[in-house]
Amino acid sequence: MFRKFLAGALLLALTGLAGAGEGVRIYHAWIRLLPADLPAAGYFVLENQTDHTVTLTGVSASAFGGAMLHQSAEGTMRHVHSIKVPAGEQLRVAPGGYHIMFMPPHEPLQPGDRVPVTLEFADGSTRSADFLVKGPAAVGWSESK
Ligand SMILES: [Cu+2]
């Protein structure tokens, strides 16, 4: 009886976890600090290893006063409310295109720090990754500062 209950609870727990966050891989995640009061930007690669489209709808990062998805285009940028990533495809959030724009951090950050950032999906699931903080001169992902 107890075993059966346990199995049911486990199944429920597993079902609860299955969402877009499951089967979504995030890597090459980094943040570029900018001088003075200019906002830091975040970049990453998202790989959709599921068999369906996943829709990124937002970001959050407790180290910062706020975070949102932006897209650069023609010298300006705009707030993006969703980004669809088809099954099996990669979304490259890289300088010049999509990026995360951060409000000022609660505590000063330094190159080499790792900051958790949570990606939010349309089905309500989330996925967190540690973003490596880099200095203003950084142009892309690498393990070095
Ligand atoms: Cu921006």
Distance 99 CA to ligand 1 centre (A): 6
Q: Is the distance from CB of 22 to CB of 125 less than 8 angstroms?
A: yes
Distance 105 CA to ligand 1 centre (A): 15
Distance 73 CA to ligand 1 centre (A): 10
> So where are the chain's domains?
2-134
Distance 50 CA to ligand 1 centre (A): 28
pTM for this predicted structure? 0.83
Q: Is the distance from CB of 91 to CB of 57 less than 8 angstroms?
A: no
Rounded CA-CA distance 23/25 in Å is 6
Residue-wise pLDDT for 18-33, tens only, equals 565 679 999 999 999 9
CATH topology of domain 2-134: Immunoglobulin-like (2.60.40)
What's at 18, amino acid-wise? A
Distance 15 CA to ligand 1 centre (A): 36
Structure token digits, residue 97: 């295109």
Mean pLDDT of the chain: 88
Q: For the chain, how far is it from start to end, CA to CA, in angstroms?
A: 56
Q: What is the pLDDT of residue 7?
A: 58
